[in-house]
Structure 1
Amino acid sequence: MSKKIHAFNDIIRKLRKDLLGKGPERIHSVFVDNMAISTLYGNLTPTEKFIAKTPEGKEMIHSARTKLIQDVYSTDPPEGLEELVGAKLVYLFSDIKVEEDIAVSVFVFDKEISMEEE
């Protein structure tokens, strides 16, 4: 894993830990053109897992996590994220599969992400 991807994953993990009380246990990210695609495993807190035992609870966790993450990134990208990739964050698409505790985020930047280490 490149240092840049490792640092990118650390930024994502820290933001989610600060925001939700628990960061993902594992993150796999790839840079493709002007996008960073991250798969996040082990996201849910014990309380969220308990709430998700009902269909209504699953929907509530899904809606809250998806909307919250998108709102946070749209108003204020995490500190150091744009500097790290050398581009401005334009869009974030995010979803979570509550049953499997897997989330995917697609970060779209205004230009191609260089894989060269700085």
Structure 2
Amino acid sequence: MSKQVHDFNAIIRKLRKDLFGKGPDRIHTIFVDNMVISTLYGNLTPTEKFIARTTEGKEMIHMARTKMIQEVYLESPPEGLEDVVGAKFVHLFSDIKIEDDIAVSVFLFDKTIE
């Protein structure tokens, strides 16, 4: 894993830990053109796993996690994120599959990432 990927993952992990009380157990990140695609494994807290035992609970956690993370990035990207990739953050697309505890985030930047 390159230092750039390691540093990017560390920023993502810290933000999610601060925001949700638990960061992902594992992150796989790739850079493609002006995008960073991160697959995050092991995101849910024990409480969220308990709530997700019902359909309504799954929907509630899905909505809370996707909306919350998107709102955070809409306000401002995490400190250091743009420095790591050398480009300006434009938008985040994010989703989580509660049943498998896997999330995917696609970060768009204003230029190709070197």
Query: What's the TM-score, normalizing by structure 1?
Result: 0.96
Q: Which residue of structure 2 aligns with residue 33 of structure 1?
A: 33
Aligned partner of residue 91 in structure 1, secondary structure: strand
Aligned residue in 1 for 2:55: 55
1:75 aligns with 2:75: yes
Question: Which residue identity lines up with residue 57 of structure 1 in the other structure?
Answer: G
In structure 1, distance between residues paired with 2:18 and 2:77: 14
Aligned twin of 2:3: 3
Per-residue CA shift, 1:32-81, capped at 9, x if unaligned? 00000000000000000000000000000000000000000111100000
What one-letter code is carried by the residue in structure 1 that aligns with 2:27? I
Structure-2 separation of matches of 1:74 and 1:113: 21
Q: CA-to-partner distance for each residue in 1:60-114, whole Å, 9 max, x for gaps? A: 0000000000000111100000011011110100000000000000000000111
Amino acid at match of 1:28: H
CA RMSD, 1 decimal? 0.4
Which stretches in structure 2 are left out of the alignment for 5+ residues? Answer: none
Q: Separation in 1 of the partners of 2:76 and 2:13? A: 16
Q: Secondary structure at the match of 1:99?
A: helix
